[in-house]
Amino acid sequence: MRFTQFLESYNIKSLKKNKIPLTKEERKEAMDRGAVWHNEPNGEATCAIWKSKDSKGNFVYGCNTHRAGAIKPTLKGAINAFDFIKTTS
């Protein structure tokens, strides 16, 4: 599945509009498990996982690059998907 098809299948615009900050515990778990990008000015680590609500009101977790993305129903699923996503950047 191409990335554009992925975007269309999950309405990424709606998810991005409904983004919610990760809790401190969620952010810590993602950072501790290595789901980070190093794209800050001085190479600091930033969390690669984001959280949103889907059209049914359920929380979903995502990670993406300009080439690939993953939306998962759990934080652990999104962290596991990040291992593949980072290889596409």
Contacts by 39-48, CB closer than 8 A, 24 or more apart: 47/22, 48/82, 48/85, 48/86
Say whether pTM exceeds 0.85.
Answer: no
Burial of 65 (0-12, 13-18, 19+ CB in 10 A): middle
pLDDT per residue as tens digits for the range 18-47: 899 999 999 999 999 999 998 888 888 999
pLDDT per residue as tens digits for the range 46-72: 999 999 998 888 899 999 888 888 899
Query: What's the domain range around 71?
Result: 3-88
- Number of domains forming the structure of the chain: 1
